[in-house]
Structure 1
């Protein structure tokens, strides 16, 4: 990988921190802005009902397919150059998807590809720019991700009534454009330094056994996938589950917003805690207990509205903590940016392909049983497997060892 810059002085630290924050802000906004305005999009393009779900499924599939390719591009062109090109894809995809059904499909694919690469680039950038402060800067992009997701999901419907949904979506393209400017400014500093020539050394994944042959990498991918499966299943089906418990549609939407908002206060803190301890077993058990109590509270939502509130709070905490754990582990279990990119690319490929099956399995189970109890039992079983896999991850120190 061409080393384009390091972060040795205050100005570069500020630019590096701003870049990581903005990368986090780009990681979900283009997806979470869509669900509240699905009806607007459907009416504009006369879309069939079945296609609407693909607007979130297509990016997940792109996450799984494209994540492993990022490592090659980083090694070939350098991490900041890849970041800039990736953000250009995201900008173009977001801007063009408002004009027709074809442009909507092409734009969604470009967005899926762009965010797939950002998912790998984010932990790699942290390892590259701030290797001694992994927890702090992982927390920064997780916080930015949670904040931007909450804002885009919570206000997209309201804003679309004021300026039309097309203008609103195109306006979101401003975020990746600003991020490109910051990345180019940071990259400019590196031109004063000679490129670091790659040499065969024991820490370079190019001379290591393939990441696909490393047991710990598979365990990381399994943990990433199972926590993602839980998150996307809950995100997709929480409102119908709450409505089946007697809660009206608007209130169910507010509770979904609560699930996303409750994670904000801890999203910056949890990665710092994770990176400060040698073993992760306590955190993994804590996440699992929160999931179990949260899902159990959903089972009791028909008994009291406050069980529904408790479920959303607990599931908001557990999903955010699990995501923070997964993303931080990619950096903690590797020793340089090349290794981080390799492990993250493989892990997220496995993870998001697995995650894409979750909402479909839940929908199939509900159709088969005509109630949500079987779905919640399935989520409890996934939580148990996630706990087991997470404890396996904790047994080994590094992927390439």
Structure 2
């Protein structure tokens, strides 16, 4: 599951130039290769609860993985295929983003921190590999073959999901109905805490996808070669791997979340500040990627774990996660294109980085609100 949640997107930024040259794309469209999936995330996230109730958690998961595999395969043939494939990928990952915390709550309700850490680890590892090596591998086997090869990951996940579904059907024939118990009586859209969770989710996603999209061009503007910029993007992804298991457990066991939110903010500021100094020294770029990798991973872990901590059953988790990710990803979708617009207007990456620091301040303020209520649906 975790290996499918970012790989199809993180593989793109280091090879944007290759894609642009192959299809003669206008420069303004390049940012949309990240933005289109985010829009899909926002529009489809609220629908996941309906599909789960209608078809069941594991069948919906398998269908979404299939959509993701198809999208990866078709987006290499033409501009039309690229657009259709990107939409399919966005739709597939949109559903998986909501399904991931719901599956943890459904399958492992007593070990939320541990299993959240496991899929965050898988997500970070696969993202690091795809971001760090896509530029180099595309020079060996072409970027088209490389993208199609990624389809293997969701196919393997489908096989695992089928085995899990068969195993659970034999062991507990009625477990598939457990999701229907404890349905919420109030819409999460009417709950202030759900809006706070959605705001935090959206702002941390805006930061991550803006950095993901524009970090290679920012580094190349500092005099770093394209392949090296790709390696540094991979370093950003892989930095947090040692902490992927630890951070969700710390979050799930903490009585208050304010300390973690402030810690994330401090590391973020340090990373963005080092990025400002990257033109002075290559090592500032290295440190920036390490700090930004750690802070983005911590922020994502915080957001996803909170969906479980602030709800009491899988139904509530799916409802709040769907609402929070819908609002959050629609907010995040403006980030990459807005950063591109700011750079085009000013010709300066410094202004873009300052803009990201302002977004960070907003994210921190919203994050501090999550301690005000214990659960989204309070009695």
Q: Report the equivalent of 1:10.
A: none
CA-atom RMSD in angstroms: 2.1
The one-character-per-residue Cα deviations of 1:310-352 (angstroms, maximum 9, x if unpaired) are: 2221111111100110011111111111111111111111111
In 1, distance between residues paired with 2:257 and 2:145? 45
Q: Give the TM-score of the pair, scaled to structure 2.
A: 0.93
Instruction: Answer yes or no: is 1:397 the counterpart of 2:374.
Output: yes
Q: Report the equivalent of 2:307.
A: 330
Point out where structure 1 has 5 or more consecutive residues left out of the alignment.
Answer: 1-22
In 2, distance between residues paired with 1:198 and 1:141? 23
For residues 247-258 of structure 1, the aligned pairs below 5 Å read 247-258=224-235
Instruction: Answer yes or no: is 1:65 the counterpart of 2:43.
Output: yes
Q: 1:36 to 1:245 in 2, by over 3 A?
A: closer
Q: Report the equivalent of 1:6.
A: none
For residues 182-221 of structure 1, the aligned pairs below 5 Å read 182-192=160-170, 193-195=172-174, 203-205=182-184, 208-221=185-198
Q: Report the equivalent of 1:3.
A: none
The one-character-per-residue Cα deviations of 1:232-283 (angstroms, maximum 9, x if unpaired) are: 1222222333344444444433332221221211122111111111211111
Q: Report the equivalent of 1:345.
A: 322
For residues 38-187 of structure 1, the aligned pairs below 5 Å read 38-187=16-165
In 2, distance between residues paired with 1:45 and 1:240? 20
Instruction: Answer yes or no: is 1:375 the counterpart of 2:352.
Output: yes
Q: Give the TM-score of the pair, scaled to structure 1.
A: 0.88
Q: Does structure 1 conserve the Cα–Cα contact (< 8 Å) formed by 2:70 and 2:85?
A: yes
Instruction: Answer yes or no: is 1:276 the counterpart of 2:247.
Output: no
Q: Does structure 2 conserve the Cα–Cα contact (< 8 Å) formed by 1:223 and 1:351?
A: yes
TM-fit CA distance, 1:166: 2.8
In 1, distance between residues paired with 2:84 and 2:118? 31
TM-fit CA distance, 1:199: 10
TM-fit CA distance, 1:75: 1.4
Q: Report the equivalent of 1:357.
A: 334
Instruction: Answer yes or no: is 1:300 the counterpart of 2:277.
Output: yes
Q: Does structure 1 conserve the Cα–Cα contact (< 8 Å) formed by 2:179 and 2:314?
A: no
How many residues are aligned here? 376
Q: Does structure 1 conserve the Cα–Cα contact (< 8 Å) formed by 2:131 and 2:237?
A: no
The one-character-per-residue Cα deviations of 1:120-148 (angstroms, maximum 9, x if unpaired) are: 00111111110111111111111101111
Range that drifts further, 305-314 or 125-134: 305-314
Range that drifts further, 36-45 or 316-325: 36-45
2:7 to 29, 32, 42: 29
Q: 1:335 to 1:235 in 2, by over 3 A?
A: same
Q: 1:213 to 1:134 in 2, by over 3 A?
A: same
Which 4+ residue blocks in structure 1 deviate beyond 6 angstroms? 198-201
Q: 1:108 to 1:185 in 2, by over 3 A?
A: same
Q: 1:239 to 1:39 in 2, by over 3 A?
A: closer
The one-character-per-residue Cα deviations of 1:360-389 (angstroms, maximum 9, x if unpaired) are: 222333333332333222222211111111
Q: Does structure 1 conserve the Cα–Cα contact (< 8 Å) formed by 2:44 and 2:326?
A: yes
Helix, strand or coil for the counterpart of 1:301? coil
Q: Does structure 1 conserve the Cα–Cα contact (< 8 Å) formed by 2:133 and 2:231?
A: no
Point out where structure 2 has 5 or more consecutive residues left out of the alignment.
Answer: none
The one-character-per-residue Cα deviations of 1:1-53 (angstroms, maximum 9, x if unpaired) are: xxxxxxxxxxxxxxxxxxxxxx0001111112223333333343343433333
Q: Does structure 2 conserve the Cα–Cα contact (< 8 Å) formed by 1:75 and 1:338?
A: no
